[in-house]
A = this chain, B = another copy of it.
């Protein structure tokens, strides 16, 4: 069983989860991702190999076959059994690693990819995120739900089959508290959500906007630490991702296909991470926080300066990143 340990001086919690060290690496991963086959006999996420994963927790079917499904992570960082009681151990503090850790299998095709999925298929991935999120948050032990994707081995992925992950934690991570506090202060100062303010500014300024549709805007943030980082932000203020109304899911799926196509064609299929930034359970109606998706292409490495200071050096200019991504004519690309 994993555990959480708190650093005495910084108050930050860490997950100690040795099960995860045992996970196998899918060695095809270093092959150029696009060259893979539609099906792999060894892949536990391919149809027909369902017995290689734990039992699914949810799935969405088309014509009697699943097209997206969620399974508990076999090498789970947290597990549903246990409690959140803090235990003092000498001067230190720990607790059981209680929570959830699931894999979202994003497609039945081993070599599928956002840039080539039908928008309706991406909608199903989003619906699955929302379903799992709601189920996790209904457990009183869960404080925060983190939905994220690691794409490519340099982004920390160990499996080639398209997938993302959800971890539901029994604590609010310290850096999340800081972000929320900062947003609240902005709200108190300006009487307005900082993220709504950013959207207005970006739409007015235009230079950092990459793409947009009726419901969403994608821009390279004015202050960003990673080359080609983008934020996918809903135009309508809503704190919590899982409050996204059904009629905005199509818009989100369409904008995801759009921006990930730009990355794929423009930056030659870069490894990347994304994370859905959404508040912890008790802040889900907050007027100062606004959910969004933060995308980090893996172009530079996190080094000693960043680890030591928590501050990032961006070797590119966000306005130029946006101009580049904006110029990619994704509608007229032939493979």
Which A positions have Cβ atoms within 8 angstroms of B?
5-21, 77, 89-92, 144, 146, 148-150, 153-157, 165, 167, 169, 173-176, 178-179, 182-183, 185-186, 194-195, 197-198, 201, 204-205, 221-225, 273-277, 294, 296, 300-305, 307-318
Contacts and interface: CB of A to CB of B under 8 A. Distances in A.
Given A154-B301, A197-B91, A303-B156, A146 B308 contact: yes
Nearest to A293: B308
A314 B15 contact: yes
A9 B178 contact: no
A304 B273 contact: yes
Given A9-B194, A179-B9, A223-B5, A16 B314 contact: yes
Given A14-B314, A150-B304, A178-B178, A309 B8 contact: no
Contacts of A225: 14
Contact of A305 (B165, B182, B296): B165
B21 A308 contact: no
Contacts of A157: 303
Contacts of A17: 313-315
Contacts of A315: 17-21
B9 A182 contact: yes
Interface centre among A12, A274, A300, A307, by most chain B C-beta atoms within 10 angstroms, is: A307
A110 to B, nearest CB: 21
Contacts of A274: 304
A322 to B, nearest CB: 13
A267 B308 CA distance: 22
Given A304-B149, A309-B173, A315-B17, A10 B179 contact: yes
B13 A223 contact: yes
A156 B309 contact: no
Contacts of A185: 11
A104 B296 CA distance: 30
A275 B17 CA distance: 25
Closest 10 pairs between A and B when the two form their complex, measured CB to CB: A156-B303, A175-B310, A275-B308, A148-B304, A5-B223, A9-B194, A273-B304, A21-B315, A173-B311, A156-B301
A335 B296 CA distance: 42
Contact of A316 (B18, B92, B273): B18
Contact of A91 (B201, B273, B313): B201
Given A20-B315, A275-B308, A186 B223 contact: no
B275 A224 contact: no
